[in-house]
Chain A
Amino acid sequence: MSTPEHGLASKHTTGQVAAAWLRASPGPLLICEHCDTVHRGRALARGEEMCCVRCGALLQRYHALDAGGMLALVLTALLVFLIANVWPVVTLGLGTQQSSATLWGMILRMWSQGSEVIAVVAAATLFFFPLNKMLMLGWVLLFARDGRRAPGFVAIMRTLYHLQPWTMTEVFVLGALVSIVKARAYFDVQADPGIWAYGVLTFLITIFSGIDLRRLWDTTERRA
């Protein structure tokens, strides 16, 4: 980790003790995002987490996956995402009639039924954002495997940071389960491959959510 530490505490003399602490302890500087407390990072053992001493927020956690492992995960997720979007999620039967829905069928239907806002929100949080997230992450990781920075690295990493909270695939999966139960009272309900793919995707997303992408800034070099 690169940290410009020269003359760090020269300007603000309020924290003389703190400055001494800063010089005394080794390791890269970590600043808690939730309370601004400064820590020294260290190498963590498997399964270990480092939390802020002041507010208890997570600072650092052990990463079992390297860039190659993460790339494999992203490619798997992309494949599953494709399956989840091509196959219908659920099929309803009423007498001889059948009706099934895919994600895009749902989005277009909401648009044509006058809930354009919801159609846009669903398209963004369930399709465009997750897809872009996987593609961008895959691109960055492809280069990060040999410690290089992909073309557009800085812009992509910033976009990924901002997209972070806006993907809602997990919520959609739970929504699909609720819909199935609601519909079951009136129709014959059949779960389609799409819902299983979404289930797997949720599992992969859970693994992803534990990964701190910021370390890619440290593990890659500016010039390849």
Chain B
Amino acid sequence: MSGAPRAHELGIIGCHVCGLVCREPSVDDAACPRCGAALHRRKRDSIRRTWALLIAAFILYVPANVLPIMRTVSLGDIDDNTIISGVVELWVKGSPSLAVIVFTASIVVPMTKFLVLGTLLVTTQRGSNWALRQRARLYRAVEFIGYWSMLDVFVVALLTALVRFGFFSQVEPLTGVVFFGLTVILTMFASMSFDPRLMWDGPDHD
């Protein structure tokens, strides 16, 4: 590959927080001399933590999709919406292009995160050299898009605050939205705990 050396080969380490380059410490719990953050070569327990968070997120994603996220009561008529039925309604009655955006944020992005992080974890655990640059790019993409999934949560919250016409029309949040919010937060933690450096370490890492 390229001739540029990696930090460990030179016996140096970069601080995660402030970017200072220092000599690799000999003790385990060394702190960065400039900002005081813990110095470590790789994120601690990266693979195990990411798996745990990802699986927890996936478990919560099931009720998030199955349970309704929002109830509309108008003139005594009760209408419960799940994420998917909300998208369908938006497609039919609102604007198809926004329906696509909501569908992307609520379904495509979380599913992509599960798939991509799962793939990255498996290939990294095997020390695979397959498509390293593309995998690195995938990870950066997942980190970048992650929080956009909160879209539907904020839509429900705003509609709840707005539609308050008592008997005539009222919107209430339902449990599904809590599960969905937690799913998004857990996937964000999952992608943060994954250490992309491990991909480049090859077969023999922790």
Contact = CB atoms under 8 A, between A and B. Distances in A.
A, B bound: yes
Contacts of B168: 94-95, 97
Given A38-B5, A171-B150, A178 B98 contact: yes
B5 A34 contact: no
Nearest to A162: B17
A65 B55 CA distance: 42
B155 A182 contact: yes
B90 A178 contact: yes
A151 interface: no
Contacts of A125: 150
A181 B161 contact: no
Interface string B129-141: 0001100110110
B163 A99 contact: yes
B151 A8 contact: no
Given A22-B10, A37-B4, A175 B154 contact: yes
B10 A118 contact: no
Interface in B147-206: 147-148, 150-165, 168-169, 172-173, 177-178, 181-182, 185, 188, 192, 196-197, 199-200
A67 to B, nearest CB: 17
6 contacts: A28-B21, A29-B12, A34-B136, A99-B163, A181-B90, A183-B159
A222 to B, nearest CB: 9
Contact of A113 (B14, B95, B133, B173): B173
Contacts of B44: none
Give the interface residue-count category, chain A.
Answer: 35 or more
A109 B161 contact: yes
Contacts of B93: 185
A11 B24 contact: yes
A39 B4 contact: yes
B4 A53 contact: yes
Interface stretch (A12-20, A78-86, A134-142): A12-20
Interface string B23-44: 1100000000011110001000
Interface string B100-139: 0110010000000000000000000000000011001101
Contacts of B3: 17, 21
Nearest to A34: B196
Contact of A178 (B101, B165, B177): B101
Given A53-B2, A117-B178, A214 B19 contact: yes
Contacts of B17: 157-158, 161
Contacts of A181: 90, 94-95, 98
Contacts of A17: 3, 5
Contact of A54 (B4, B95, B188, B192): B4
Contacts of B164: 99, 109
